[in-house]
Amino acid sequence: MKSIYPAVIICIVIVVISGVVFFHKNSINIIKSPPESLAQWYKPHNKRQVWLHNMFKLRRQMQAIAFYADIKHEKNLKKWTKQFSEHYIKIATMVPQWAKKIDRDALSALHNKVKNNNYQEIDVHLKEIEQTCNNCHDDYRAITAIKYRAPDFSKLQVNSKAYSSHMKKLSHTVNQIKIASADNMKDIANESFHNLESGIIELGKTCINCHKNKKQTYPSAQMKKTLLQLKTHLNTGTLKQQGRALGTFAVQACANCHTIHRLSFDMKEILNAGTNWNNLMNHGK
């Protein structure tokens, strides 16, 4: 008779983990991570965003199939169906773990209807295939975009200093201007303004790493205009004008970019960090 202890231990572990998850159910979101094999089809592992381009082709080809079925154009319908079949099946080759997600029966039925010019029934099988796309997108599209398309600032430097350190310094400088302005300390406000202006310019030099089509995307012309207004108001304007100019600049230079870049980068950092059971166990303490 085999020992039952290994089975008992496994059951205990499962119960403990389930209990921890249940206890923290209001603080836990369960997500499905895509297979690691998907990474090879995204930058920087690949020169091009190969996976994305395959998805774009599939979307375009499905639209073409529906269009030519509707107008009963036999030649173009068969051409686009052939292209679609090649790229749909290619998913299983690119990511073998997703091979079972391919609906080969629906694809075969689609080919049969196209071959026999059964135009009215093509949409049925096209929708069956589309549902496999939607199911996968529901599970993986958002998380894949964060993992493989979100920017990575972890290795960037500004003036030989960590990117995060420079950002903290800018945040500190903005608040220093606000404090000095509120307390009518013009010298400190102007000195902080100078630090903010130079810090923003240095930060902008890193943008060229991604925004390669433009020499300078940050600070924008609108940001520079607001900075000039802030500089003027710090010396001759009212407290209200100073606050409005500083607030406007904070939205233009900080909030807008954070909405696009920081949120996705923070999520990427969390995902890359993996599960920290110690933090989970200590949650709420």
Query: Is the predicted pLDDT of residue 229 greater than 60, yes or no?
Result: yes
Confidence bin at 214 (pLDDT 50/70/90): low
pLDDT, mean of residues 35-44: 94
What local confidence, expressed as pLDDT, does residue 124 receive? 96
pLDDT of residue 261: 87
- Asked if residue 284 has pLDDT above 80, the reply is no
Q: What is the pLDDT of residue 2?
A: 53
Residue 281 predicted with pLDDT over 70: no
DSSP-based helix, strand, coil % in the chain, nearest 5: 75, 0, 20
Question: Once rounded to an integer, what is the mean pLDDT over residues 230-245?
Answer: 96
168: exposed, middle or buried (Cβ count in 10 Å: 0-12, 13-18, 19+): exposed
Average pLDDT of the residues in 26-38? 79
Provide the pLDDT for residue 19.
62
Task: Output the pLDDT for position 113.
Answer: 96
Q: Which pTM value belongs to this model? A: 0.72
Residues 6+ apart with CB under 8 A from 243: 178, 181
Can you tell me whether residue 86 is helix, strand or coil?
helix
Of 60-64, 108-112, 131-135, 259-263, which gets the smallest average pLDDT?
259-263
- Cite the DSSP H helix spans in 150-262: 163-182, 186-204, 221-236, 239-250, 256-257
15 vs 25, more confident:
15
Q: Quick one: 240 exposed, middle or buried, by C-beta within 10 A (0-12, 13-18, 19+)?
A: exposed
DSSP state of 3: -
Per-residue pLDDT band for 8 (boundaries 50, 70, 90) equals low
Q: How far apart (Å, rounded) are the C-alpha atoms in residues 66 and 183?
A: 67
Structure tokens at 160: 């030989």
Over 50: is that where the pLDDT of 1 sits?
A: no
Between 127 and 279, the more confident residue is 127
Average pLDDT score, the chain: 88
Tens of pLDDT, residues 76-119: 999 999 999 999 999 999 999 999 999 999 999 999 999 999 99
Q: Which distant-in-sequence residues (6+ apart) come within 8 Å of 119 by Cβ?
A: 69, 70, 72, 77, 113
Q: Pick 40 or 156 by higher pLDDT.
A: 40
